[in-house]
Amino acid sequence: MTNKAEEQTTAEQPAPTTTMQDNAENNELNISDLSGMKQIIDIASSRGAFKAGEMEAVGKIYNKLSNFLAQVVAKGGQNDQS
């Protein structure tokens, strides 16, 4: 009985109308996004979200991201435009 109700609910849902172009526009990253990611890593690590065995990998990515952002700022490319 439940299966028929689920089938009806599923059948009534409209199909997604996004196109590949819409998806490509939503997948863009900018400097502001990367800066936000750096802050997220910093906050998560300070709250103990990573296990000891994960800290090396997280630290490497954090350092690469920090260095990249520092280079962008040094070049004056703090522009969010792609």
Angle formed at CA 30 by CA 40 and CA 19, multiple of 5 degrees: 105
CA distance 65 to 31: 10
Query: Is-contact 3 52, C-beta < 8 A?
Result: no
The residue whose two tokens read 């792609």 is: 82
Res 77: pLDDT: 57
pLDDT at site 70: 96
pLDDT digits (tens, 9 = 90+) for 5-43: 555 555 566 666 666 566 666 789 999 999 999 999 999
pTM of the model: 0.60
Residue 15: predicted pLDDT: 60
